[in-house]
Amino acid sequence: MAFGIKEMGTIVAVLGFKAFMFGIVAERKKPASGTPTVLGEVVTCKYPSDPTVYIGFLSIISLTAAVVIGFYAVFHSYKGKSVPLNALFRNTKFSVFFSITVSLSLFAELMLLWTTISELKHLTNNVHRNLDTTCPTAKTGLFGGGALLALDASLFWLLCLMIAENVREDYFDEEENDKGEYRQALTTDYAARGQANVA
């Protein structure tokens, strides 16, 4: 079954929403801090069991899938017709929105990745020589911020898909008009030659 632009857009939207939801759940499940236990000259931090890191990675995977499918959908040929890259990027609106979308997607990916890895490091490196440690976790609000950026990125991919579809239609309309004018010129030229030969 061949997917059209609408189906691709739906997939991108669903994956972006999943990335958003996973990020929000990770934010809500993340413990504020661990419990310090002093043993001699070291402090061992005990953290409550929570799925924050796994949910964070699910958010990253969902957003990555949305971005990959967004790229594919923008440049994919539909119904066997493809548009040259220079025709797409010649359109100022598409170029601007595509640049913003890619930047936003990268920023969202980096924020989610950095927060998830920070949380993982806190949970695994839980022995500290600093006796004043408070057993921190990843900063509050970072998962939520990454989730909002992921949602924004997926919405911008939808805008890019719509603009790319408009550019695609304009390109094929121009191509059809050019062919029509060329055929008409050939027909007129052929008819004129036929009349000249009869005379």
Count the neighbouring beta carbons within 10 Å of the beta carbon of residue 51. Answer: 12
More confident residue, 75 or 198: 75
* Structure-token pair, residue 75: 């440049």
pLDDT of residue 166: 86
Listing DSSP states for the chain in one string gives ----HHHHHHHHHHHHHHHHHHHHHHHHHS-SB-EEEEETTEEEEE-----HHHHHHHHHHHHHHHHHHHHHHHH--BTTB---HHHHHTSHHHHHHHHHHHHHHHHHHHHHHHHHHHHHHHHH--EES-TT---B-SPTTHHHHHHHHHHHHHHHHHHHHHHHHHHHHHHHHHHHHHHHHHHHHHHHHHHHHHHHHH-
Summarised one tens digit per residue, pLDDT across range 102-147 is: 999 999 999 999 999 999 998 888 888 887 888 888 888 999 999 9
Rounded to an integer, what distance in angstroms lies between the CA atom of residue 20 and that of residue 143?
9
How many residues are listed for the chain in this entry?
199
Position 62 pLDDT exceeds 90: yes
Under a CB-based contact definition with an 8 Å cutoff, are residues 69 and 1 in contact? no
Under a CB-based contact definition with an 8 Å cutoff, are residues 105 and 153 in contact? yes
Count the neighbouring beta carbons within 10 Å of the beta carbon of residue 35. Answer: 11
Rounded to an integer, what distance in angstroms lies between the CA atom of residue 147 and that of residue 100?
17
pLDDT of residue 182: 45
Under a CB-based contact definition with an 8 Å cutoff, are residues 63 and 150 in contact? yes
Mean pLDDT of the chain: 84
Position 98 pLDDT exceeds 60: yes
Q: Give, in order, the Cα–Cα distances in Å from 12 to each of 45, 89, 106, 154, 167.
A: 40, 21, 16, 6, 20
Among 54-68, 167-181, 182-196, name the most confident range.
54-68
Residue with tokens 């061949």: 2
Strand arrangement, sheet containing 127-128: 35-39, 42-46, 127-128
